[in-house]
Amino acid sequence: MKVTTVLIILFIVFSVGISKQQQEKSRVRSTHLKEPTPTGELIVKLKEGTTVKEFTDKTGLELIKKLNFGSRNYLFKKTKLEFVESEVQAKGKRKGKGKGFTKPISDLDSIFQTQMEELVEHYEENQYYKPYLKSYDPSDPLFEDQFHLVNRGQFGGLWGFDANVQPVWDEGIFGAGINLVIVDDGLYKDHKDLKVNYSPDLSYDYCNDINDPTGSEDDTHGTACAGIAGASGDDGACGVGIAPSVNLSGRRIICSGVTFTDIAEALSDEISSVVDISSNSWGDFGCDVYGCSYAKITNILKEAIVDGITNGRNGKGIIYTFAGGNEGDYGGNINHYSTNKLLEVIAVAAVSNSGRHSYYSNIGTGILLSTISSGKNLWYRNVKTRTTGSKTTTSCNERFSGTSSATPLLAGGIALMLETNPNLTSWDVQSILIESATFIDPPYKDNRWVTNNAGYKFSTNFGFGLFDANKAVKIAGNWENLPPIETFVTPTQNKSVEIPEDNKYGVNLHLTIEKEDSLTITGGVILYLSVDHTYIGDLDIKVISPHGTIAYVMDKNSNRGKKLDNHYFAIRTFYGENSKGTWTLNVRDYVPVDEGKILDWKLEFYGVNHEFHNARIYGKRTLIYPEIEEQDGSFASNPNCASFLIMFISVCLFFIF
């Protein structure tokens, strides 16, 4: 009878645990974004030598404004509707209605190709767009609870598994003089935690076209991000940011009515050239319970970012951090997304306070680094980070988490690096983060580590490892700037090749880089791939370097699409390797019935034309994980696990005997 009672107790304990786990999963946002809607405006990049007057005379479009980044980017609108209607009607298309040009660009492609081909480098329709917040859930106050900064085992965490920022603070480095912009849903500038560091000059609300980025009481996300990055210390409110003296600004873009051009301008800084870091905990929608989809990169957003890292900070480049995304539970891979995976930005993954990959955090070859955010362990089903709230001037956010929290933590950490060495370029910062990262290897399956030919460890779960502020700042202080980054794009491989069904070997395609075209890879590699297939999610995609390093670009997943059209896959795996030699693309279809073929592919390399300086002479921090027998990830590593199990068994024996 007593044995039966014990078994019932065990059943209840584990049932409650499973139930809570399911509840946590159900909280992940799964709302579909509405399709972007047209504005009646065109974003145009004129060819060199083409004047605005020549363009407007030829097309009938009216200039709205010159965009504040790039020398040839403009925004136009259509005022003479009959100019286009006659052409569209001739093709049997419906008439346009309303005051402006509101037809989808696809209806007019042939017209613009014939009438503007000699005038325009590229164009696209400006659209109303509401970015998808990379938020999982919001968090609690007080510095002693901020395990992401100093982990003393709070909430069942692994002692010492943190940003390692205390030694940096002890050196008197707090991010002073560095300008960090939070691009989000607002920033509550009057909060006691933020008002000391708030900088109005770089702030703007693109939703209402005003200089105050506060937003409404419900716009809590950006304020929480600001608190993680740069909440002031010793002010009696909530906790402290990782860079408590950084200059904070807010650019509000999360709302209905914001367009691609608004977001592009929020990301750029060509006029003032004083923005140092742009923190972005938002992105497009990739995966949910219904499956995944591949997002197409918007030219104007990419160009704004490229312009930022080329011309920002007087040529040293704005450093962009982007959330890796929170759809990992649904098979989310950063290569499903658009802006977040660009090699020009730093994509951030999340790990829990117990040292394991956070189950919601997207994986992928485009992840650069991990920082600590929410997650679960043996003692807690979901531990949240603590930061600044938005309800009152002293309120605290008790439920902030996800890669939304991980991203500003890294952004603030970069501010510490720039205070130490303001001459770092954006590409220098990426290399320093890689060199200083802490290897994360919890005792569970599927940590997905690969060691490349240059000796660097990379994981699609963690990127190059955990951000270490102390190591990063030390390396930054002694860093010699890398030469300007160069790129090399291979010719497109146009041979159409069938992908064999239900085949464990798949198809291998090859291309060779000659010595004169080779680079030492520092920025990464881009795979551009076009595939026609009846179920894209059946495919497993790998790229193999000449040195035998395998990049696991995409696993079989729930994507139900049928085509990839020159899709951009970001690959960080090959950092430090030389590109010379034969590269292999391997595509496998694990499932019968559906079929397809590779249409074309090419590679683009970002690197430097010299032997790479290895900064790892500074050494790396090593974390000691507790020894545990469980290896399937059911329990988080915790130094108190053994004590807990002994206590539990003792109680059971007491009731039995």
- Please identify every residue annotated as catalytic: 184, 221, 404
Q: Please answer whether residues 322 and 283 qualify as being in contact, where contact means their C-beta atoms are separated by less than 8 angstroms.
A: yes
**Residue 179: exposed, middle, or buried by beta-carbon count in 10 A (0-12, 13-18, 19+)?**
buried
If we measure between CA atoms, which residue out of 371, 312, 520 comes closest to residue 431?
A: 520
Distance CA 394, CA 142 (A): 12
Question: What is the phi/psi pair of residue 310, to 5°?
Answer: -90, -45
Which residues touch 402 (CB under 8 Å, ≥6 apart)?
134, 135, 136, 137, 323, 326, 350, 358, 360, 361, 373, 374
DSSP H or E segment with residue 20? helix 2-26
Task: List, in sequence order, every beta strand (DSSP E) within 129-206.
Answer: 132-133, 138-139, 179-184, 204-205
Which helix (H) or strand (E) element contains residue 110? helix 109-116
CB 276 within 8 A of CB 318: yes
Residue 458 near residue 369 (C-beta atoms within 8 A): no
**Angle, helices 260-267/299-311, rounded to nearest 10 degrees:** 10
Report the Cα 340 to chain-centroid distance in Å.
4
Residue 370 CA: distances (Å) to CA of 103, 149, 188, 313, 464: 42, 14, 27, 25, 8
The structure tokens 């955010």 sit at: 373
Q: Please report, in angstroms and rounded to a whole number, the separation of the first and last CA atoms in the chain.
A: 11
How many whole angstroms separate alpha carbon 296 and alpha carbon 564? 10
Q: Degrees (nearest 5) of the Cα angle 521, 337, 454?
A: 20
Q: Given strand 73-78, what is the order of strands in its sheet?
A: 61-66, 73-78, 37-46, 120-128
- Bridge partners for 375 per DSSP: 383
